[in-house]
Chains A and B, each alone.
Chain A
Amino acid sequence: MKANIKELTKGIFKENPVFVIVLGLCPVLGVSTQVSNAIGMSAGVMFVLLFSNIIISALRKVIPGSIHIPAYIVVIASLVTITEMVMHAFVPSVYSALGVYLPLIVVNCIILGRAEAFASKNSVFDSILDAIGMSIGFALGLTLIALIRELFGSGTITLFPMGNFGGGINIPWFYDNPIRVMALAPGALLIMGYLKAFFDWNTSRKKDK
């Protein structure tokens, strides 16, 4: 059981998909302009990753080795299509904000990477834990970048409207003087680079001890 827990927690910090194994950066850099987009994207990735891991690990003895990649793509593409339709129907604002990045989950390296590296070799239960851990790690990384970018780049934090709460928080000084570069492409690369440097430094410091 302890080994199983490890499959769950490794994705969050030790093998964080964004900062350590650096996979699936296209949505990380593309949709991290608003926190709400980041959460929507993370939810989509979590759904696809979880079910693709389940299906692929369940079928791991059925899929012939020579066409395993096309088989994975069929599974992932079906799941992405489901996600896209569901989002289009129930959260149209998030759907339009994510734009092309939503169908691009098909070619997201985290999902194919976990299918290839983990689900095709491990049991269904372990694959579920791995998928949950990885998607939490992805969600944390993406939301962290989006939070920093939105805070500095537009001076707001956009969440989903709930009850009296309208969904947007304005940060006093930054709202009037947004550092707009942070909301543009260079901001994404800068934040990504500094966070990765910080995590690498943290890991190497722990190793030295």
Chain B
Amino acid sequence: MNKPALTVSSSPHLHAKADTASIMWSVSLALAPASLWGVYVFGLRSLLVLGVSILSAMLVEYLLGRMGKESTLWDGSAFLTGLLVGMNMSPSVPLFIPFLASAFAIFVAKWTFGGLGANWANPALAGRVFVFFSFTTPMSTYVNPRTLAAVMPDGLSGATPLGFAKTALAGGTLGMDSNGLLSSAGYPATGFAQSISQATGFSAYSIDSFLGNVAGCIGEVSALALLIGGLYLLVRKIITWHIPATYLLSVALLSWIFGGIPSGLGVFSGSFFPSMFSGGLMLGALFMATDYVTSPISHKGQIIYGIGCGFFTFLFRYFGSMPEAVSVSTLLMNVVTPTIDRYIVPRKFGDTKELRKKQKEAKV
């Protein structure tokens, strides 16, 4: 058959090569620095946890693919979900917990609601929250990173800075910000962070949590490594700045303004930077909240979504009873996402306020 010299087709004529698989593998690649850092500081045991979560996510995806008509094993979504589940685990969890979390993520959160693209909640977060509320003790028992183990006094083993500050607050230590709480109780900082702290004036704890020298989940400890991955995604235009920036800034601002209240310090005395680098916030803001399926489509909606995530994270962190701020608030905003998408409709091309006014008048 002769091919016509000119191919006539309708626009658009330019296609990006991006598809589900390339995006998923890119996000997984962006998570690599943080996971490698986690494996380095927490030892090979954490690699085992990561492996179990990834393998069980892919196994469940494969079995469900066998049951249904199409297999989506190699589009990377199951791999990414498993990796995120693993990064959200404490390095010392018994291995059935990552298995259950991955299975819940793929089977309940994703497959039941119609597979990738139809899930209302971020699967990895749903899996984490499921096992967190089921097995609270092993999930919130942490080990010290190898960079901190040398200076960590006994009896303080495996407390995250956030959890530690919270315990001190619950014990009735008032009148101190989080840095004061940590240092008065003897929470250690690495020598490297202390020397930088003397040179720059930032507190040594913020520097340690920025670099990743704190106890925590495998993938959440190093804000720096996560930021590198996030920047890669921003440069590749896989995510936009709207959700992470509004999320991080709203948490930091609210913590700065109101974060001192539980300690009895009044407004404008909370911590700005440490609140951004501590806990799972960086991982949540850059990689969990930005999940395409469960975040709003329009940029305006994404900004509302980011601020909502930040507001709830702040509330849970300072006034909640569970050390589970980022994942629960992101899930909460996942629920609101369809509503945001319904009411925040992007402006149509050529649509202006005057035009709509005219149309309204014409109708009347």
Contacts and interface: CB of A to CB of B under 8 A. Distances in A.
Contacts of A182: 134
Interface string A76-92: 00000000000000000
A75 interface: no
A180 interface: yes
B100 interface: yes
A180 B133 contact: yes
Contacts of A177: 94, 96, 135
Interface in A166-182: 177-182
Contact of B134 (A180, A194, A197): A180
Contact of B133 (A181, A190, A194, A197): A181
B358 to A, nearest CB: 49
Scoring A177, A190, A197 by chain B CB atoms within 10 A of each residue's CB, the highest score goes to: A177
Interface string B223-235: 0000000000000
B95 to A, nearest CB: 12
Interface string A175-193: 0011111101000001000
Contacts of A179: 100, 134-135
Contacts of B133: 180-181, 184
A150 B212 CA distance: 41
B108 A190 contact: yes
Nearest to A184: B133
Interface in B79-101: 94, 96, 100
A183 to B, nearest CB: 9
A152 to B, nearest CB: 9
B108 A180 contact: no
Interface string B134-174: 11100000000000000000000000000000000000000
A55 to B, nearest CB: 43
Contacts, number: 19
B25 interface: no
A181 B96 contact: no
Chain B, interface SS category = helix
A197 B94 CA distance: 32
B278 to A, nearest CB: 26
A197 B111 CA distance: 13
A179 B96 CA distance: 11
A184 B136 CA distance: 14
Contacts of B134: 178-182
B60 to A, nearest CB: 15
Contacts of B94: 177
Nearest to B94: A177
A181 B128 CA distance: 12
B128 to A, nearest CB: 12
B268 interface: no
B62 interface: no
B161 to A, nearest CB: 27
B256 interface: no
Interface string B115-146: 00000000000000010011110000000000
Contacts of A194: 112
Contacts of B135: 177, 179-180
A58 B173 CA distance: 70
Interface in B100-115: 100, 108, 112
A177 B134 CA distance: 9
Scoring B100, B134, B136 by chain A CB atoms within 10 A of each residue's CB, the highest score goes to: B134
A102 B133 CA distance: 29
Interface in B316-333: none
A186 B63 CA distance: 25
Contacts of A197: 112
A3 B60 CA distance: 47
A148 to B, nearest CB: 14
Given A177-B96, A182-B134, 5 more contacts: A179-B100, A180-B133, A180-B134, A180-B136, A194-B112
Interface of A: 177-182, 184, 190, 194, 197
17 contacts: A177-B94, A177-B96, A177-B135, A178-B134, A179-B100, A179-B134, A179-B135, A180-B133, A180-B134, A180-B135, A180-B136, A181-B130, A181-B133, A181-B134, A184-B133, A190-B108, A194-B112
- A-B pairs with lowest CB-CB distance, top 6: A179-B134, A180-B134, A181-B134, A181-B133, A181-B130, A180-B133
